[in-house]
Amino acid sequence: MQSFRTEIENPVVEKDIIELERKIRLFKEGKVDEERFRSLRLARGVYGQRQPGVQMVRIKLPYGKVTGDQLLRIADVSDEYSTGRLHITTRQDIQIHYVNLDRTPELWAELEKSDVTLREACGNTVRNVTASELAGIDPDEPFDVSPYAHAVFQFFLRNPVCQEMGRKFKMSFSSSDKDSALSFIHDLGFIPKIKDGERGFKVMLGGGLGSQPNHAELVHEFLPVDKLIPFIESVLRVFDRHGERAKRLKARMKFLVQGIGIEAFLKLVEEQQLALSYQEYPIEVKDFEKDYDALTAEVPEVVIENEKGYNAWKTTNVVKQKQEGFYAVGIKVKLGDFYTDEARKLAALIKKYASNELRLSLRQNILIRDVREELLPYFYQELSALGFTATGYNTTIDITACPGTDTCNLGIASSTGIADVLEDVLRNEYPEYVNNTDVTIKISGCMNACGQHNMAHIGFQGMSIRQGKLVAPALQVLLGGGVLGNGSGRFSDKVIKIPSKRGPQALRALLDDFKSNGKEESFLAYYDRQGQKYFYDFLKPLSETDNLVADDFVDWGHSEAYVQAVGVGECAGVVVDLVATLLFEVEEKLENAKIALAGNQWADGIYHAYTAFINAAKALLLAENVKTNTQAGIVKQFDELFAAQLGLEGTFAKLVYQINENEPTESFAKTYLEEATSFYKTVDAFRKKQLEDEVTK
């Protein structure tokens, strides 16, 4: 690590990277528990993949924004540490695969030279804050949400409130009432509004996909922008304290809201107000204002030889901006995969002829912004040379798919393979869908819905199916989901399970029936009118398994017989805490609190001390095999089992919950840290005596 420590200008980032290198070394020496080490590396964007011995590294790109220099840096890193392939996710990240664990600190340090981070791209943290790729240029937007998404990203990065939650936490910012950032499926979703000349957000809370999708609930029709970050911090504090931690499938915030009810949840949110870092948090927007008059690059001479192709491309892939005379150019990136040589050419193009910025989209595409109208022919020529002018950006033919069994531990069946085939079916047999935006198709390799299959008009979920003792890859067909706008949406119905190799037949059957029996209505209206059983009945012949042939037992994109091999997923960062490791981490929390107080960060110091209280109490409870599902439960159970034994004055709850009863002042922060330190010493001594007594028995 010495070779790059001095090259990182930000001491906080440098410390973070050095800590990762140190924990890797301790893990390999057997001094750090594997499960706790997993939690640490996940919070640094390092994710185990399906193939043993290598890692997937997720690069966190808030609201999908990438500059030319950042794209060049990512390309260099991918070539040096990975395979040169870049994968765009449905959360506007970039993933690279087959990375050696030992080299991840070095990789991270290289990225930080261009202000690109891995921090909290995975694990039980605030994940990448997403936003509509049109934010800032959308003709329908009340205002640009980019500054607000960026402020949220910055405020909660490394924030002690959200480092070790029970599960991941996702937020999105839509640019308009069209809700293209899908607020209804997020833990928190924001839609911009203007009321009496003031900026604010409509707020949706508690949404999610996965095996049990849940529509977010409306909690604010209008939240002023200065209240945005305080409200989010309050929600995160409640989720951290009351969210489930032991049962992974019940640990997302949607289950907490369902369990206690939205009114009780919001009451808990209100109770956090006194302890917040800020009661109001103004957000600066000037840095996001561009001088469009300065974008005056000379227009190269271009001769368009394929006028038909150029016009088709302009129809589906070029978007008029709200800035007069400027356009955005959409690049349909098949399955979200592109390569470093293409990335470098894109970087050069946007640096010279646009505003040196592109945005990655929620549909795994690229949007180049701020292109003058007279430069469109040149962009078509240059993008054609890269193979980046395929029509159908954000249309039916633009299929979303997760990596599935290619690299993911949880993949059951190939999602990329079937997506590739279905796109060929659409392009070759149903050309009318190249321009269609009424129907979306999404595919996931398992029930976790990273491909968002259960909110699509037509969705497919990877599964398996049996014929006697043989197992074949399969697809669950889902129908009837979609975005309705302004915070509303609907989830798909599970219709029928079919062998994967019959996926193209199912798509043909659906589109042909829609063409024959749809009454000049939307696909959703057609689905509602016909009803779920109607589709089950006409797709049922495709579900039969007594007539499977050899090819049905080979998944799309593979040549060998299908083997169902599902590993342990890491996306949630669920870990098994050992007592010794927890007590060791209490010391780290206390040290973090001291550092925060030295920097006059009173609220951060208080929260680090709070976490030290909780982890110390949890350690003793785990030593007694007591379940510790929530932080609130830990406090209650500790009082019942240990408060008297440790000779605490008053209850543990009264001691810990001072955090809610005091403003984050210097005086309280110092007192609270002293009490947390004293409590840890008491717990540590008690635990050592327990171990001594066990030895002498």
Q: Kindly state the helix (H) or strand (E) to which residue 623 belongs, with its residue range.
A: helix 602-623
Contacts of 636 (CB under 8 A, 6+ apart): 653
Please work out, in degrees rounded to the nearest 5, the angle formed at the alpha carbon of residue 517 by the alpha carbons of 511 and 521: 85
DSSP letters, 122-165, are SSSSB-PPEE-TTTTT-TT-SS--HHHHHHHHHHHTT-GGGSS-
The two structure tokens encoding residue 665 = 């002042």
CB 138 within 8 Å of CB 175? yes
Mean pLDDT, the chain, rounded, equals 91
- 198, 172, 200: which is closest to 185 by C-alpha? 172
DSSP letters, 220-267, are EEEEEGGGHHHHHHHHHHHHHHHS--S-GGG-SHHHHHHHH-HHHHHH
- 541, 479, 482: which is closest to 510 by C-alpha? 479
- 222, 172, 175: which is closest to 197 by C-alpha? 222
Tell the burial category of 623 from Cβ atoms under 10 Å away from its Cβ (0-12, 13-18, 19+). middle
Which CATH architecture group holds 307-385?
2-Layer Sandwich (3.30)
SS3 601: coil
Domains 307-385 and 579-696 alike in fold: no
Q: The CATH number of 2-112 is which of 3.40.50, 1.10.3470, 1.10.10, 3.30.70?
A: 3.30.70
| pLDDT > 70 in the chain, percent | 96
- 380, 387, 327: which is closest to 349 by C-alpha? 380
- pLDDT tens by residue, 622-644: 888 887 889 999 999 999 999 88
Average pLDDT of the residues in 571-585 = 57
Distance CA 502, CA 540 (A): 12
CATH class of 400-553: alpha beta
Adjacent-strand bridge partners of 371: 327
Q: Which of 46-50, 150-154, 228-232 has the lowest mean pLDDT?
A: 46-50
Q: Which of 207-211, 537-541, 559-563 has the lowest mean pLDDT?
A: 559-563
Tell the burial category of 385 from Cβ atoms under 10 Å away from its Cβ (0-12, 13-18, 19+). exposed
pLDDT of 504 reads 96
Domain boundaries, the chain: 2-112, 130-286, 307-385, 400-553, 579-696
- Identify residue 496 by its one-letter amino acid code: I
pLDDT of 642 reads 92
* Alpha carbon separation from 189 to 27, 255, 450 (Å, rounded): 38, 17, 17
Contacts of 377 (CB under 8 A, 6+ apart): 302, 304, 310
Contacts of 648 (CB under 8 A, 6+ apart): 655
The dotted CATH code for 130-286 is 3.30.413.10
- pLDDT tens by residue, 356-383: 999 999 999 999 999 999 999 999 999 9
The dotted CATH code for 579-696 is 1.20.120.330
Tell the burial category of 645 from Cβ atoms under 10 Å away from its Cβ (0-12, 13-18, 19+). exposed
pLDDT of 25 reads 86
pLDDT of 681 reads 95
Kindly state the greatest CA–CA separation across the chain.
90
DSSP 208: B
